[in-house]
Structure 1
Amino acid sequence: MRKLPRVPAGTDAPPLASRRGVLLGTAAAGALFAAGCTSNQNNEDPDTGRQPAGSADDEPGKEVTIGFAGPQADHGWLNAINEQARSRAEAYEDVTLVTTEGSNDIAQQSGQIETLINKKVDVLVILPADGKALTRIGLKAMRQNIPVVNLDRVFNTPQAYRCWIGGDNYGMGLNAGRFIGERLKGKKNAKVVELAGMDNLELTQERTRGFDDALKNYPGIEKVARQAAEFTVESGQKKMSALLQAVPEFDALWNHDDDQGVGAERAIEQAGRDEFLMVGGAGSRHAMDAIQADDSVLKATVLYPPTMAASAIDLARALGQSRGVGGLAGLEIPASVTCYSAVVTKDNVEEYLPTGFN
Structure 2
Amino acid sequence: MTKLTSRRGLLFGAAAVSAGAVLTGCTSNDPDDGGDKAADTQPAADDKPGKQVTIGYAGPQADHGWLNAVNDQAQNRAKKYSDVSLEVTEGSNDTAQQIGQIETLINKKVDVLVILPADGKALTQIGLKAMRAGIPVVNLDRIFNSPQAYRCWVGGDNYGMGLNAAHYIGEKLKDKPDAKVIELAGIDNLELTQQRTQGFDDGLKNYPNIKKVARQAAEFTVESGQSKMAQLLQAQSSFDALWNHDDDQGVGALRAIEQAGRDDFLMVGGAGALSAFQAIKADSGVLKATVLYPPTMAASAIDLARALGQGKGVSGLAEFEIPSTVTCYSAVVDKENVDQYMSTGFK
TM-score of the aligned structures, taking structure 1 as reference length: 0.88
Residue 236 of structure 1 pairs with residue 225 of structure 2: yes
Determine whether 1:355 maps to 2:344: yes
Q: Who is 1:117 aligned against? A: 106
Question: How much has 1:36 moved relative to structure 2?
Answer: 2.5
Please state which structure has a larger fraction of its residues in helix.
2
Do structure 1's residue 166 and structure 2's residue 155 form an aligned pair?
Answer: yes
Post-superposition shift, 1:56? Answer: 7.0
The corresponding residue for 1:35 is: 25
Match runs of 1:291-310 below 5 Å = 291-310=280-299
Given residue 118 of structure 1, which amino acid in structure 2 is its aligned partner?
Answer: N
Residue 221 in structure 1 maps to residue 210 in structure 2? yes
Q: Is residue 61 from structure 1 mapped to residue 47 from structure 2 by the alignment?
A: no
- Tell me the amino acid that sits aligned with residue 313 of structure 1: I
1:130 maps to what in 2? 119
Deviation at 1:307, TM superposition (A): 0.7
Shift of 1:32: 3.5
RCO comparison, higher one (Cα < 8 Å, 6+): 2
Q: Residue 148 in 1 paired to residue 143 in 2?
A: no
After superposition, the Cα gap between the structure-2 partners of 1:199 and 1:39, relative to the gap in structure 1 and judged at 3 Å, is farther
Letter of the 1:7 partner, please give it: R
Change (3 A) 1:52 1:127: farther
1:186 aligns with 2:175: yes
Percent of paired sites with the same residue: 74
Q: CA deviation at 1:38?
A: 7.0
| Structure 2 contact 78–86 (Cα < 8 Å) conserved | yes
Distance in 2, Cα, partners of 1:140 & 1:52 = 34
CA shift, 1:6, in A, is 2.0
TM-score (norm 2): 0.91
- Residue 55 of structure 2 aligns to a residue whose secondary structure is strand
Give deviations 1:125-180, integer Å, cap 9, x for gaps. Answer: 00111111110110000000000000011100100000001110000000000000
Separation in 1 of the partners of 2:230 and 2:71?
A: 33
Q: CA deviation at 1:31?
A: 3.6
Query: Alpha carbons of 1:37 and 1:231: their partners in 2 closer, same or farther (altered >3 Å)?
Result: farther
Structure 2 counterparts to residues 1-358 of structure 1, below 5 A: 6-7=6-7, 31-36=21-26, 52-53=41-42, 57-358=46-347
Rounded Cα–Cα distance in structure 2 between residues aligned with 1:40 and 1:92: 19
Secondary structure in 2 aligned to 1:150? Answer: strand
Q: CA deviation at 1:326?
A: 1.8
8 Å contact kept, 1:307–1:355: yes
CA contact (8 A) 1:53 1:325 kept: no
- Tell me, in whole angstroms, the C-alpha distance in 2 between the residues paired with 1:84 and 1:156: 25
Any idea what the Cα deviations from partners look like across 1:66-90, whole Å, max 9, x if unmatched? 0001111111111110111011000
- Whether the 8 Å CA contact 2:54–2:86 is kept in 1: the answer is yes
Alpha-carbon distance in structure 1 between the residues aligned to 2:43 and 2:269: 37
TM-align CA RMSD: 1.8
Alpha-carbon offset, residue 39 of structure 1: 5.3
Letter matched to residue 264 of structure 2: E
Q: Give the whole-Å Cα distance in 2 for the aligned partners of 1:88 and 1:32.
A: 14
Uncovered stretches (5+) of structure 1, i.e. residues with no partner: 9-28, 42-50
For residue 177 of structure 2, what is the amino acid of its counterpart? K
Residue matched to 1:24: none
- Structure 2 stretches lacking a partner, 5+ long: 9-17, 32-39
* TM superposition shift of 1:202: 0.6
Q: Which amino acid in the other structure matches residue 214 of structure 2? A: A
**Equivalent-residue separation in structure 1 for 2:45 and 2:213 (angstroms):** 52
1:96-136: per-residue Cα shift (whole Å, max 9, x none)? 01111111111111111111111111000001111111101
* Aligned pairs, number: 326
How far apart, CA to CA, are the structure 2 residues paired with 1:297 and 1:327? 39
SS at match of 1:145: coil
Question: Structure 1 pair 204/38, CA: closer, same or farther in 2 (3 Å)?
Answer: farther
